[in-house]
Amino acid sequence: PVKNPGVYEITLGTPLMTLINELCGGMADGKKLRGIIPGGSSVPILTAKECETANMDFESMAEHKTMLGSGAVIVLSEDTDIVETTFRLAEFYAHESCGQCTPCREGTHWVAGLLHKIKDGHGTKKDLDLILSLTVNMEGGTTICPLADACVGAVRPTIEKYKEEFEARLTTDDKKNVA
């Protein structure tokens, strides 16, 4: 989505939009910025508006309720399907779960399955609410490793910040709401 993707070493505190517009050359093909995942797939997403005031440092990321994480910046353009992207991230975490801890083993697979239903237009409001409920039970030290927390970081903030896009995919036909 950017003109010059690559690996960049920047000074801590560099404005996020300086990274995107100056080092990366701006958005490719005249597309608009939709959002950025600033520290790899496990950290909460920033909307385009939030990116305007975010700096690449720990304090700024904390103020925006996200993290620098691995430092891998994932840029999403206006044509990125947020629901599809969130499903793919959840699917990754479900695949990577070793299965030892119940909240992760069950939670990641349930979240991915429910997102798949929503993505395909078969999910309901109850499914979306269930995802949010599941993520509460998957975080905060309920597992041995942080994989479940990583899934939560990728999923819940994205649903909260782009809720209208998820709701647009929901059906009101309960007959389609079969797991």
For the domain 14-77, what is the CATH code? 3.10.20.600
pTM of the model: 0.92
> Is the pLDDT at 162 greater than 70, yes or no?
yes
User: Would you kindly state where each structural domain of the chain is located, as residue ranges?
Assistant: 14-77, 82-176
Fold of 82-176: de novo design (two linked rop proteins) (1.20.1440)
pLDDT tens profile 60-94: 999 999 999 999 999 999 999 999 999 999 999 99
pLDDT category of residue 172 using cuts at 50, 70 and 90: confident
pLDDT tens profile 112-150: 999 999 999 999 999 999 999 999 999 998 999 999 999
Map 149-168 to HEC letters.
HHHHHHHHHHHHHCHHHHHC
The answer to whether 177 touches 122, Cβ cutoff 8 Å, is yes
- The strand ranges marked E within 16-137 are 33-37, 46-47, 55-56, 74-77
